[in-house]
């Protein structure tokens, strides 16, 4: 047996080699923020079930500067998630044809982003209406 050692290129840090891969990893990293936000809300639901004093403590924690700063990060991350999500939707869904022509990816992305803006605005207006 010969001691042949074939060269195998290391895959360490593969995603730092190309801006496309870096964007890919940032997009995947938004999942951490989505989970973190779900955890914040889940904790709120648990505290709500535990009673008023427990819930008040959760609410007070949300008012702390740390929480506000954290939610700014969450907000930025989720905006990027929305943006990147609708970029990949055309790549993951089966192609749709309208009038014999394939629906262009940019149209699907644009429709998704408009839908997100619309639903968000409706949600905010609904709460402004309830709050007033």
Partner 1 sequence: MKRSNAPIFWTLFGAGGMLSALIGPMLVLITGIAVPLGFLLPADLMSYPHMLKFAQHWAGKAFTFAVVSLFLWHGVHRIFHSLHDLGLKTATGAKLTCYGVALLGTALAAYSLLVIGF
Per CB under 8 A, does 112 bind partner 1? Answer: yes
Q: By CB under 8 A, is residue 111 in contact with partner 1?
A: no
Q: Which is nearer to partner 1, 4 or 9 (CB)?
A: 9
End-to-end CA distance of the chain: 83
Element (H, E) at 132: none
Shortest distance, CB of residue 126 to partner 1, whole angstroms? 10
| Interior angle at CA 16, CA 12 and CA 113, nearest 5 | 130
The minimum distance between CB 8 and partner 1, in angstroms, equals 13
Query: What is the rounded distance in angstroms from the CA atom of residue 75 to the CA atom of residue 6?
Result: 47
- Interface residue with partner 1 among 18, 22, 38, 110 (CB under 8 A) is 38
Q: Is 105 in the site for partner 1 (CB under 8 A)?
A: no
Q: How many residues bind partner 1 (CB under 8 A)?
A: 52
Tokens read off for 106: 């940019």
Number of C-beta neighbours around residue 30 at 10 A: 20
In the list 81, 90, 108, 109, the residue contacting partner 1 (rule: CB under 8 A) is 81
């Amino acid at each position: 047996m010969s001691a042949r050692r074939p060269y195998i290129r290391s895959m360490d840090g593969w995603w730092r080699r190309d801006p496309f891969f870096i964007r890919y990893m940032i997009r995947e990293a938004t999942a951490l923020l989505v989970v973190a936000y779900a955890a914040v809300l889940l904790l709120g639901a648990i505290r709500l079930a535990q009673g008023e004093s427990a819930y008040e403590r959760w609410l007070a924690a949300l008012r702390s500067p740390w929480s506000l700063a954290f939610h700014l990060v969450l907000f930025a991350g989720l905006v990027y998630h929305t943006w990147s999500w609708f970029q990949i939707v055309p790549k993951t869904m089966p192609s749709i044809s309208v009038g014999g022509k394939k629906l262009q990816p940019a149209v699907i992305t644009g429709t998704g982003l408009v839908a997100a803006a619309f639903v968000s605005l409706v949600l905010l207006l609904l709460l402004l209406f309830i709050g007033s």
